[in-house]
Amino acid sequence: MRRIKLTLEYDGTRFAGFQRQAKGERTVQAELESALAQIPGAVPKVVAAGRTDAGVHALGMVVHYDTEDRIPPEKIPYALNRLLPPDVRALAAEAAPPGFHARYSCHWRRYRYRILNRQMPSALARERTWWVPKPLDANAMQQGLAHFLGEHDFKAFATQERRGTVRTLYRARLERCGEEIVIDLVGNGFLRGQVRAMVGTLVEVGLGKRDPDVIAWLLAHGERKDAGPSAPPQGLYFVAAGYAPWNGS
């Protein structure tokens, strides 16, 4: 038996999230395990570096699975992509080192959020961005975003979270690219709903509804009801998972 580390890209629009659901909804895990079940020797059970909600996309989700097949790792993506639906693609595969675990071996995870900030909606990006028609003050949003860096208790930005709520953010960047505002986040872990709650609060800052320094207060004293609404899922992307300590690049 060997363990395979697999990197996936998927369009989350028509999925009920990554994780298999009790009621049989369409999920990325269910589609991937169905494909693996057709490969003799593969154990159709995958473990992911993270779990994305319905409508959230991935550019580089890492999963692992075990197998007794002898397919060379570099050929696994070709085999799987013949079995997977077109909105999920295997990008790369490699033999995992001893003890590798897609979730527990992960040192950091990276997310990106895209906001389309223009007066008119998009016909092409409606399932890839959050359309905000009113002008956003990107400088104020950047000031608010800076408060998230470092170790904090993110309970004000967590949804139905039962785990401990202290996390560390290594990167929190915002860039305006023409009509888009792109927020890039890297942390040692993220709580359920955390990124979308952070972005929703930052958009209120950008609209002038909140002061940028309110972020510091929310981290120190806030509850979920005190922060802004959750941003919609279609603007969120799981970008990458890292298996060495974050080096700032």
Set 11, 53, 153, 211: catalytic member: 53
Q: Do 193 and 215 belong together in one domain?
A: yes
Q: Do 195 and 140 belong together in one domain?
A: yes
23: in domain: yes
249: in domain: no
Counting every residue written for the chain, the total comes to 249
CATH classification at residue 45: 3.30.70.580
DSSP state of 68: -
| Side chain identity at residue 165, one-letter code | T
pLDDT at 249: 67
* Tokens (6 digits) for 90: 């295997």
* Tokens (6 digits) for 152: 């904090």
Domain boundary among 49, 70, 95: 95
CA pair distance 156, 223, nearest whole angstrom:
4
Domain boundary among 95, 121, 150: 95
Q: Do 87 and 153 belong together in one domain?
A: no
Per DSSP, helices labelled H in 158-248 are 194-206, 214-221
**3-state class percentages of the chain: helix first, strand second, coil last, to nearest 5:** 25, 30, 45
101: in domain: no
How many domains is the chain built from? 2
CA pair distance 144, 187, nearest whole angstrom:
17
Annotated active-site residue 137? The verdict is: no
| Residue keyed to tokens 């369409």 | 26
Q: Do 79 and 149 belong together in one domain?
A: no
| Residue keyed to tokens 């595969």 | 93
For residue 124, what are the contacts with CB-CB under 8 A and spacing of at least 6? none
Q: Do 40 and 126 belong together in one domain?
A: no
Contact 102, 109 (CB under 8 A): no
Sign of the CA dihedral running 246, 12, 90, 52:
positive
Q: Do 183 and 116 belong together in one domain?
A: yes
Q: Do 84 and 187 belong together in one domain?
A: no
pLDDT at 242: 97
146: in domain: yes
The binding site for substrate comprises 111
Cα 139 to Cα 5, 212, 223: the distances in Å are: 40, 10, 25
CA pair distance 238, 88, nearest whole angstrom:
14
Sign of the CA dihedral running 21, 131, 202, 242:
positive
CA pair distance 181, 172, nearest whole angstrom:
13
The binding site comprises 111
CA pair distance 140, 182, nearest whole angstrom:
14
- Read off the pTM: 0.96
Q: Do 136 and 29 belong together in one domain?
A: no
* Tokens (6 digits) for 92: 């790369």
CA pair distance 184, 132, nearest whole angstrom:
18
51: in domain: yes
Contact 61, 102 (CB under 8 A): no
CA pair distance 151, 153, nearest whole angstrom:
7
| Tens-digit pLDDT string for the chain (249 aa) | 999 999 999 999 999 999 998 888 999 999 999 999 999 999 999 999 998 999 999 999 999 999 999 999 999 999 999 999 999 999 999 999 989 999 999 999 999 999 999 999 999 999 999 999 999 999 999 999 999 999 999 999 998 888 899 999 999 999 999 999 999 999 999 999 999 999 999 999 999 999 999 999 999 999 999 999 999 999 999 999 999 999 886
| Residue keyed to tokens 């589609």 | 31
Task: Count Cα atoms within 13 angstroms, Cβ side, for 145.
Answer: 25
pLDDT at 161: 82
Range of the domain at 188: 108-242
